[in-house]
Structure formats: structure tokens, C-alpha cells
Amino acid sequence: MTGKIKQIKTVPADPRGVLTGSHYLDGDHAAAEGCIAAGSRFFAGYPITPATEIAERVSARFPRIGGIFVQMEDELASMNAILGASWGGAKAMTCTSGPGFSLMMENFGLGIMLETPCVLANVQRGGPSTGLPTLVAQSDMMQARWGSHGDYEVIALVPDSPQECFDLTITAFNYSELYRMPILIMMDECVGHMTERVIIPEADKIRIVPRRYTTESPSTYLPYKADDDLIPPMPPVGEGYRFHVTGLTHDEKGYPVMNAATQKKLVSRLINKVKDHAEEIIITDEKYMDDAEIVLLSYGITGRVAIPAIEKAREEGLKVGSMRLKTVWPFPEKRIREMSKHIKGFVFPELNMGQVVLEAERCACGNCKVVRVPHAGGWVHDPEVIYDAIKEAAK
Amino acid sequence: MKSEIRISGLGGQGVIKCAYIIGKAASIFDTKFATMTQSFGPEARGSSCSAQLVIKDDHVEYPYLQNTQILVSMSQDAYTKFETEVDDEGLILIDDSLVHPTPPRKNIRQYAIPAMKFAEETGNKIVLNIIMFGFFVAMTEGLLDYDAAVKAVETSVSSSTIDMNMKAFNKGFEYGKSLLEKEALQ
């Protein structure tokens, strides 16, 4: 039986990094401020539209607060650099989009295997390949889930506004320390390039999860020996702890042991440390759900675009609720399965041709309708199209 | 109350900065909600370029324009391209030293200011967008609070250019006020 995730005493944010006040910021800049407020002082990246502004702002801000920004030679190196920085004790982040996300995938998997706390923001644009560099899409959602090879779980957070880019970047850093793994922030071009009011609280109102260091002595410490909650505490560097990390299947000592039993133990734990804590990880934003017979599922910008359609349908007496997923991975499967037994249907608009909706269909098990509202990207949905899908679900 | 606004012109004229200052005045120095989106392609670096703003008293959900109520145009291309999308009851503001307008359609109110000419007279063409912003504040009559507009300019330009920009802002604002006063007398 997996224990609840260990509660680590949070600390207030370092006030040197926190621009307390109201700002008119785009989503990329807000994510950069979230990164800094969360205590990150190492960022490695390679410029790519529409994610460049995150790196640009961090590169301008870091030198004044003692952070290190490195523009790397490419995205492979960027991902590796933040893994190394994290093992060195830093809270580290990178950002990219489309093609760069593909390049980061192998080393993202290394981060999963090494259980390395760090944050990767993908400001999604249209693909495949170079696709639509300056235009919106949400078509990397399944790549976020399965893009690296092997079996694993991920945590992916999806903001719908510059304010949430700030807030969820802090959450991502906190999750990365709690669950000891790389966390994905799946932004999109619309949210990244949209400018709105962002309220940055005072530093002592921002709670930061510090690294979970081992309490074992250097002589008894094992780098991959997990606590009851399946999370292995990390070693502080420079204090006499000797350890080995490898992408090969490893035992609690961290050394390669390549057989079926070790593989089963390790991979099961990598998966279960997320699955068994899914309820603690999943965050949603819900509206009109009390009487909902139709539930509009969404994430990111699409959740906002759907609101006028939901309100129009409600004015006509259709009982439609909105459940916007701030956490898309892990997917809220228990909740969706339970809901499917009591409602007429789900409507799921996404800026892709049908990705996360596959999960809704799987969880609904045919209990209710699941209406897809696909869009190839390049622009957001017309709310009228979503309204028509709501009517179809209500039939 | 929802206002849907497009600021348009050529990349480099400060089109996006002008929209940014409007949004900042409404949402940082006043209590409204303002969402700004902008062109991001190569057009933002030299050819036709525009920014969209949705201003509301409560949260903005759909971030783009659905019914353009106010168009600001600082180039002929932008005017030709976007004039057609303006609501029949809308408002168009142009720089008539850069744009040759067509007669306004239906009930559209169309006003002009020789903003580039004024900017050249101040000795620095860079303030064109701030003159247009001052004109915008006057002609939209209460959409933006005057003090909020002033603060938005002061906090959006480099400190060494505040005086120059405030002169530009007031030039545009006063010109707009005088147009409205003349209209009221007619």
C-alpha cells in the first residue's frame, strides 16, 4: 500500500526573485516570473518561437539575482544541462516548442529514469515538423504523455492565462520536488503570447517545496531506496554522499542491474508514484457543475473559448457544466468514469484532431456520449462550433 | 460592457506598444480586464501589423475580436485590410498624414489626426504611437480613465523619454478633445 505523499515543510519564496505587484505580462513572461519566484536559479534553453520570450526574460532577470542562464547549442543539450544542474542542487528549467520538444524527448526520459526534479515548458504551436511556428495548437498532448521511449507516467500542467502561467510554473516546481521527476507545463501559443494582468503575491505568500534530502548517513544512504510514498529522497551534494546515476535499469544503489525482476520493481515504482498520488496531483477548474447533464471537458485556451458556448447553451436551458483540466496528465480517470454513469455526455474540444478525448472515451466506457470537437490548429475554435457540439450531446 | 479594439499599422510604428499601453491603462491602473493579442509573424517586423484588445468589466473569456468596435489605423494597408471588419456602429481613428480614408460606411464614426506630422514637429517620429494613444483616449470618451492612461504611458517608456512622450500624449488628447468640441457646436 502506497503511503500518502510525504508532506514537506514549505518555505517562503526568496523575495529577491519576486516582483510583487500587478503587471501587464504575456504568458511567456509570466512563466519566466513563476520560474524565478519558485526559486529556480538555473535555466538552459535554445530559442524557438513561441517559447523564446520565456528564456529571454529569464536571461535578463537572472544575472541580477544570482541565477545562471545558458543558451545551449540545441535542445538535447538544454534538457541534459537542467538534469545536471538539478543533481547539483539547483531548481532548473528549460522551455521549447514543437520541434524542440521532439529533440528533448530522449533526455526527458532520462530525467524520468534518474528521477530528477526539473521543469520543461512547451509552448505548443502547430505541427507536425516545423508546422506553424507563430500559431496556436494543442497537438503535443499525446507526445507529452508518450513521447519518450519506455513505460512511465508524466505530470503535465496546462495554463489558460498569463496568471496561470505564473501560478502553475510554481506548482510545477513544487510537484517536481514532491514527486522527484521532470514536470511538463503544456502552454500554447495563444496563452504564451497573450498579455493580461498578472498579480504576483508577496514572497512570503508563495510557498515553495524545498528538496527532499535524505536523513540517512553517507555510509547507509541508497540513492534509489524509496520511502513508503515511493519517492526516494535525494543526496545533498558536497557533503560526502557518493552515488551513481544511470539511464540503465538500476537497483536501489543506483547501479545497473539488467534483469526482469529489477525492471519490474523500478518501472512499477516510476509509474505508481504518479498513479497512486493522482488524486493529490489533479487540479481542475469547474463551473456550472452542480446540475450538469453535459460536461464540457477542456484544457488551456480551449477552456476559455468554450465558456461563451456554455453560457449560450445554459441560456437555452441546457444543463452544461465546464471542467477544465489544469492537470491533464495524470488524466482524472476515476472522476470521468464515475461521472459517465450519471450524465448524458461529454463534449471535448481540443486544438488537435482528437488526442486527450481518447482518454475520455476510454474512461466513459460507453456509458454516455463523448462528442469530439477537433481543430487542426492555427486558430482557436469558433464558440459556435462548440455550441453545436453541446447541442449534439444533448440530443 | 465589452470593447473590442484593433490597433493597426506597420511593424516598427509602435502598434503593439500602443495596444499594450491601452491594456495596461485599463487593467493595471483601472479595474477592468484587458486581454491583448498580437501579430507574431514576419509582418510584425515591417509590413502590416496589428494587435487586438478585448476590454471588459469582468473576466475576458474568448481572447480575440468577434466584432471590431474600434479600429485605429496608422497605415494605408492596415486601413484597407481592417476597415471592412468594423461594426456598422463602430469607431475608426486614423492618421490622415499616412492614410487616405474612404467615406465611412453606415453609422461608423471616423476621425482623423495628422499624428505623423505632429510627431515630426516634436522632432522625434518615434512618438507617433503615443500621439495616437492620446487621440484614442479622447475619442473613446471614458473607455479609459485619463489618470490611468497617463500612468500607463509613464510606466511603459524609458524614464529619459517620459517628458517627450507626455507631450505627445497630450498633443493627441487635446486634438481629439477639440474635434469633439467642434462637433458638439455643430
Q: Do B40 and A380 touch (CB under 8 A)?
A: no
Q: Do B36 and A23 touch (CB under 8 A)?
A: no
Q: Please confirm whether the linkage preceding A128 is cis (ω < 30° from 0).
A: yes
Residue A259 maps to a domain: no
Residue A305 maps to a domain: yes
Contact A46, A75 (CB under 8 A): yes
Q: Does B2 touch chain A (CB under 8 A)?
A: no
- Distance, CA of B140 to CA of B98 (rounded, Å): 21
Q: Do B28 and A383 touch (CB under 8 A)?
A: no
- Distance, CA of A253 to CA of A235 (rounded, Å): 12
- Distance, CA of A155 to CA of B60 (rounded, Å): 28
**pLDDT given for residue A167 in this prediction:** 98
On chain A, the residues whose CB falls within 8 A of the CB of B62 are: 304-305, 307-308, 380, 383
Instruction: Say if residue A375's pLDDT is above 60.
Output: yes
Q: Looking at CA atoms only, how far is residue B43 from chain A in angstroms?
A: 11
**pLDDT given for residue B42 in this prediction:** 64
Q: Look up cell 483540466; give the residue.
A: A325
Q: Do A197 and B38 touch (CB under 8 A)?
A: no
Q: Do B20 and A195 touch (CB under 8 A)?
A: yes
Residue A146 maps to a domain: yes
**pLDDT given for residue A190 in this prediction:** 97
Question: For the domain that residue A97 is a member of, what is the CATH number?
Answer: 3.40.50.970
What is the mean predicted confidence (pLDDT) over A281-300?
97
Q: Does A4 touch chain B (CB under 8 A)?
A: no
Contact A307, A322 (CB under 8 A): yes
pLDDT tens-digit series, residues A58-81: 999 999 999 999 999 999 999 999
Instruction: Say if residue A38's pLDDT is above 90.
Output: yes
- Distance, CA of A342 to CA of A337 (rounded, Å): 10
Residues A193 and A309 in one domain: no
Domain edge (last residue) among A208, A232, A266: A208
The total of other beta-carbon atoms located within 10 Å of residue A128's CB is 9
Q: How many angstroms from the chain centroid is the CA of residue B96?
A: 14
Query: Strand locations in A144-218, DSSP E?
Result: 156-157, 182-188, 195-200, 207-208
C-alpha cell at A47: 530559442
Most B CBs within 10 A among A24, A48, A164, hence the mutation to make, goes to A24
Tell me the residue type at B30. D
Question: For the domain that residue B39 is a member of, what is the CATH number?
Answer: 3.40.920.10
Query: On the CB side of A46, how many CA atoms lie within 13 Å of its CA?
Result: 17
pLDDT tens-digit series, residues A197-231: 999 999 999 999 999 999 999 999 999 999 999 99
- Distance, CA of A205 to CA of A266 (rounded, Å): 37
- Distance, CA of A297 to CA of A68 (rounded, Å): 39
Count how many domains chain B has.
1
Going by C-alpha positions, the residue among B69, B51, B72 that lies closest to residue B2 is B69
Q: Does B36 touch chain A (CB under 8 A)?
A: yes
Q: Do A196 and B36 touch (CB under 8 A)?
A: yes
On chain A, the residues whose CB falls within 8 A of the CB of B33 are: 196-197
Q: Does A195 touch chain B (CB under 8 A)?
A: yes
What is the mean predicted confidence (pLDDT) over A1-13?
89
Domain edge (last residue) among A208, A232, A262: A208
**Which residues of chain B register pLDDT less than 50?**
none
Residue A228 maps to a domain: no
Residues A67 and A182 in one domain: yes
Count how many domains chain A has.
2
C-alpha cell at B130: 503615443
Going by C-alpha positions, the residue among B123, B135, B140, B146 that lies closest to residue B169 is B135
On chain A, the residues whose CB falls within 8 A of the CB of B61 are: 304-305, 307-308
Residue A273 maps to a domain: no
Tell me the residue type at B1. M
Q: Does A197 touch chain B (CB under 8 A)?
A: yes
A84-88, A237-241, A313-317, B110-114: least confidently modelled range:
A237-241
Number of A to B CB contacts under 8 A, please give it: 55
Residue A216 maps to a domain: no
- Distance, CA of A3 to CA of A228 (rounded, Å): 5
The total of other beta-carbon atoms located within 10 Å of residue B157's CB is 21
Range of the domain at A17: 11-208
- Distance, CA of A345 to CA of A364 (rounded, Å): 9
User: Which one of A189, A197, A305 has the shortest CB-CB distance to B62?
Assistant: A305
- Distance, CA of B23 to CA of A215 (rounded, Å): 51
What is the length of chain A? Answer: 395
Mapping DSSP to helix (H, G, I), strand (E, B) and coil, where does residue B159 land? helix
ipTM of the complex: 0.95
The percentage of residues in chain A with a pLDDT greater than 90, rounded to a whole number, is 98
- Rounded to 5 degrees, φ, ψ at A167 are -60, -45
Instruction: Say if residue A4's pLDDT is above 90.
Output: no
Residues A200 and A294 in one domain: no
Question: Who contacts A269 (Cβ-Cβ below 8 Å, separation ≥6)?
Answer: A226, A230
**pLDDT given for residue A371 in this prediction:** 98
Residue A57 maps to a domain: yes
Most B CBs within 10 A among A196, A296, A384, hence the mutation to make, goes to A196
On chain B, the residues whose CB falls within 8 A of the CB of A301 are: 63
Range of the domain at B55: 2-185
Going by C-alpha positions, the residue among A49, A208, A37 that lies closest to residue A122 is A49
Q: Do B36 and A195 touch (CB under 8 A)?
A: yes
- Distance, CA of A294 to CA of A298 (rounded, Å): 13
**pLDDT given for residue A1 in this prediction:** 72
Contact B138, B177 (CB under 8 A): yes
pTM over 0.80: yes
**pLDDT given for residue B44 in this prediction:** 56
On chain B, the residues whose CB falls within 8 A of the CB of A49 are: 40
**pLDDT given for residue B46 in this prediction:** 65
Q: Do B40 and A134 touch (CB under 8 A)?
A: yes
Instruction: Report the run of H or E that residue A361 belongs to, with start and end.
Output: helix A357-364
Q: Does A130 touch chain B (CB under 8 A)?
A: no
Nearest residue in A to B53, CA atom: A195
User: Which one of A50, A189, A195 has the shortest CB-CB distance to B23?
Assistant: A195
B window 37-66, beta carbon within 8 A of A = 37-38, 40-41, 60-64
Residues A151 and A299 in one domain: no
A252-261, A311-320, B32-41, B63-72: least confidently modelled range:
B32-41
- Distance, CA of A276 to CA of A1 (rounded, Å): 9
- Rounded to 5 degrees, φ, ψ at A309 are -70, -40
Beta bridge mates, A284? A325
pLDDT tens-digit series, residues A183-202: 999 999 999 999 999 999 99
pLDDT tens-digit series, residues A116-152: 999 999 999 999 999 999 999 999 999 999 999 999 9
Q: Do A307 and B61 touch (CB under 8 A)?
A: yes
Residues A98 and A196 in one domain: yes
Q: Does B103 touch chain A (CB under 8 A)?
A: no
Question: For the domain that residue A348 is a member of, what is the CATH number?
Answer: 3.40.50.920
Burial of A360: CB neighbours in 10 Å, binned 0-12, 13-18, 19+: buried
Mapping DSSP to helix (H, G, I), strand (E, B) and coil, where does residue A3 land? coil
What is the length of chain B? Answer: 186
Residues A190 and A331 in one domain: no
CA A290 → CA A134, A285, A373, B60, distances in Å?
39, 13, 24, 23
Residue A227 maps to a domain: no
Q: How many angstroms from the chain centroid is the CA of residue A137?
A: 16
